[in-house]
Amino acid sequence: MVLVGTNMAAALRPAGVLLRDRRQELLILTVRSAIKRMDAGKRPAPDPGSGDFGAGNSEWYMVAQGPVSHGGASRVQPQQQLPQKQPNVPEAPDLKFSRGTGHIGYFWVLNIRDDEVMRKLKLGEIRKPKTGILMLNMGGPETVGEVHDFLLRLFLDRDLITLPVQNKLGPFIAKRRTPKIQEQYRRIGGGSPIKMWTSKQGEGMVKLLDELSPHTAPHKYYIGFRYVHPLTEEAVEEMERDGLERAIAFTQYPQYSCSTTGSSLNAIYRYYNEVGKKPTMKWSTIDRWPTHPLLIQFALCWVQSGPPEPQPGLPVLLLEPGLPVLLLEASDGKRGGFQCFADHILKELDHFPLEKRREVVILFSAHSLPMSVVNRGDPYPQEVGATVQRVMEKLGFSNPYRLVWQSKVGPMPWLGPLTDEAIRGLCERGRKNILLVPIAFTSDHIETLYELDIEYSQVLANECGVENIRRAESLNGNPLFSKALADLVHSHIQSNERCSTQLTLSCPLCVNPVCRETKSFFSSQQL
C-alpha cells in the first residue's frame, strides 16, 4: 500500500479519500519496476525514520509497503526495505518519483506538485486500467551510449537474422559496427525519436479509445521494444502487475514479417514460458494492418488538366491548377480527406515545380529482408506491396512508381532493388525528380532521418545530379494516425478476434519452432 507524509494526508483529508477502505481504491501505489531509475534529484529526500518526515518539505512523500497513515508518517522497519526500482503508477502517469536513501537503505519518494494530479486524487478520478495495449516495435537508442547494447540485442536475435555461431559472431558484429552507427545517431541529434513518437501516438490512441469503447476503459498503452528499454518482456511484466483484464499486442509494423512482428510476439510467448506461469489477463493481437483505410487515405487524385466532375455531396479541392482532388466517402460513412501516407505524398508533390510534377517518380522504400527469409514463405513482401498498391489506387496512379528496399546488412542476397541503386539507375535514365516514401515505417528513426534524409537525399543525390528529391513525412504525431490506431484497436475489440487468420498459418518452410508455439499461444486464448 502507501505511506504518505502528513502534508499529503492533510491535503487529501478534506475530500474524505483517506477514510475507511476508499483510500485503498484511490492510492494503490504499489512498488514496481520501471524503465529507468531516477536519482534523488538536487534536493535531498527526508529520512523516513525521522520524526519530521514531510515537515516543511511538502513536495516529497514516501511510498512504502504498509497501510496508509493519515496521522503522520509511520516508522519504516528494516524488513520493509524497498527494492531498488522505481514505483509505477499506471493510473497516474504524471506522478514523478525519485530515489532517496535513509537508514533503512533505499526508498522511493513521490514528488507531487501537479495541481491536476492532486485534483484527480481528491475527486477519486484515478482508476485502475482495464485494457492494456502493448505497442510493439524494434525501438531505437535514445542516446549514443545505448547504441552498442541495441546492436548487440539485434544481432543476437535469431528471429531477425540467423548467423553461424551467433553467440560469438553477433557480439563481434555489434562491437565492430558501433562506432559507425554512433556517428549516424550523432548526425540526427544524438538518438532515436521513436520512443517519443510512440508515446505521443499511444497517448492519443488511448484517449480516443476511452471514448470509443467505454466498457473496456480505462485503456493504457505500454511500449515494448525488442532491442532497447523498455523491452517487450519488461512491458509484459508491468502489464501483469497492473492487473489488467485484457491485453492487446499491437504491432506498430503495418506489414507482418516473422523477423519483426513475429519476433515481438515470440518475446511475449517466451516471457510466460520462461517464468513458468500462465497469463492472468486475456491476450489477443493485432498482428498486421497493411491496408487499413486510414493508413492509406480516402482521397483520389488526378494529375490531368481540368477538374473532375463533382458528385453530389462530395467536395472538390484544387491543390494547384490541373491537380484536383476529389474527396470520397470513407467506408464508415465519415469524410475521408488527406490522411496518412497519401496525405503526405500529396503534400510533398506540391513542392515540386508544377511543370515537373507529373514526371516525379515515387519510390516507396521499405526495410529489406534476407532472401533466405523470403524464400521460407514470409508474407512481408506481399503485404508491403499491398500497401503500395492501395496508396497508388487512391492516388489514381498519378505518377510512375516503384517499390524499393533499404538497410541491407551483410553480403548475403536481400530483397531488391535497393533504394540507393534505384536512385542511381533513375538518374542514369534521366529521371531526376524523385519522391521517397517510407512505406513500412510509421515513425521517424535512423532509417528515415539518416539513411533517407542524409545518405540518399543529400550525399547520393549530389553525386548523381538529382534535380529535385524529397522525402514524404513519416506519420509521427499526425492526429489522424492516432485516430487510425484507435480505430484499429476498437474494431479489434468489437470483433472479439484473438489474432488474424494469417497468423495461424506458419511459413511453409518455417525452421523456428518458437513461431509455432507463439501462434498456438495467441490462437488458443479464451476471450
pLDDT given for residue 101 in this prediction: 37
More confident residue, 78 or 206: 206
447, 438 contact by CB (below 8 A): yes
123 in the same domain as 140:
no
pLDDT given for residue 196 in this prediction: 95
The proportion of the chain whose per-residue pLDDT surpasses 70, expressed as a percent, equals: 67
**How is residue 53 written as a grid cell?**
518526515
- Say if 362 falls within a structural domain: yes
Q: Is a pLDDT exceeding 80 seen at residue 109? A: no
- State whether the Cα torsion 411-509-439-191 is positive or negative: negative
450 in the same domain as 377:
yes
282 in the same domain as 149:
yes
Query: Look-up: residue for cell 523477423?
Result: 259
Q: Is a pLDDT exceeding 60 seen at residue 394? A: yes
Confidence category of residue 373, pLDDT binned at 50, 70, 90 = very high
What backbone torsions phi and psi does residue 392 show, to the nearest 5 degrees?
-70, -35
Task: Determine how many CB atoms are found less than 10 A away from the CB of residue 115.
Answer: 8
Q: Give Cβ neighbours of residue 447 (< 8 Å, ≥ 6 apart).
A: 367, 406, 407, 438, 441
pLDDT given for residue 18 in this prediction: 27
pLDDT given for residue 297 in this prediction: 53
Residue-wise pLDDT tens digits, 411-426: 889 999 999 999 999 9
- Say if 481 falls within a structural domain: no
423 in the same domain as 359:
yes
What global pTM score does this model have? 0.71
**Which residue segment(s) compose the domain that 359 sits in?**
293-475
Report the distance separating Cα 294 and Cα 486, nearest Å: 11
| Identified catalytic residue from 229, 445, 487, 490 | 487
Report angle CA 425, 430, 431 to the nearest 5 degrees: 75
242, 128 contact by CB (below 8 A): yes
148 in the same domain as 101:
no
**How is residue 234 written as a grid cell?**
519488461
- Say if 394 falls within a structural domain: yes
- Say if 424 falls within a structural domain: yes
449 in the same domain as 307:
yes
Report angle CA 424, 426, 432 to the nearest 5 degrees: 100
Residue-by-residue DSSP string for 388-407: HHHHHHHTTT-S-EEEEEE-
Residue 490 among the catalytic residues: no
Report the distance separating Cα 256 and Cα 289, nearest Å: 8
Q: Is a pLDDT exceeding 60 seen at residue 38? A: no
Q: What is the CATH number of the domain that holds 272?
A: 3.40.50.1400
Q: Is a pLDDT exceeding 60 seen at residue 63? A: no
522, 498 contact by CB (below 8 A): yes
Task: Determine how many CB atoms are found less than 10 A away from the CB of residue 158.
Answer: 17
319 in the same domain as 299:
yes
- Say if 483 falls within a structural domain: no
Average pLDDT over the chain, rounded to an integer? 74
- Say if 216 falls within a structural domain: yes
Q: Is a pLDDT exceeding 90 seen at residue 505? A: yes
63, 3 contact by CB (below 8 A): yes
155, 174 contact by CB (below 8 A): yes
pLDDT given for residue 340 in this prediction: 60
Residue-wise pLDDT tens digits, 152-205: 999 999 998 888 999 999 999 999 999 999 999 999 999 999 999 999 999 999
Confidence category of residue 478, pLDDT binned at 50, 70, 90 = confident
Report the distance separating Cα 27 and Cα 407, nearest Å: 48
299 in the same domain as 280:
no
246 in the same domain as 310:
no
Q: Is a pLDDT exceeding 60 seen at residue 82? A: no
| Identified catalytic residue from 292, 344, 367, 492 | 292
When divided into structural domains, the chain yields a total of 3
Q: Is a pLDDT exceeding 80 seen at residue 40? A: no
- Say if 482 falls within a structural domain: no
Report the distance separating Cα 120 and Cα 123, nearest Å: 5
* Average pLDDT over every residue of 84-103: 42
* Average pLDDT over every residue of 255-281: 96
219-225, strands of its sheet edge to edge: 219-225, 131-137, 246-251, 282-286
Domain boundary among 128, 151, 174: 128
Domain boundary among 102, 128, 154: 128
Cα 374 to Cα 409, 434, 455, distances in angstroms:
15, 28, 26
**How close are the terminal C-alpha atoms of the chain, in Å?**
31
More confident residue, 321 or 463: 463
State the burial class of residue 507 (Cβ atoms within 10 Å of its Cβ: 0-12, 13-18, 19+): middle
**How is residue 504 written as a grid cell?**
495461424
Residue-by-residue DSSP string for 64-97: -SS---SSSPPPPPGGGPPPSS----TT-TT-EE
- Say if 170 falls within a structural domain: yes
Residue 229 among the catalytic residues: no
Residue-by-residue DSSP string for 366-386: EE--BHHHHTTT-SHHHHHHH
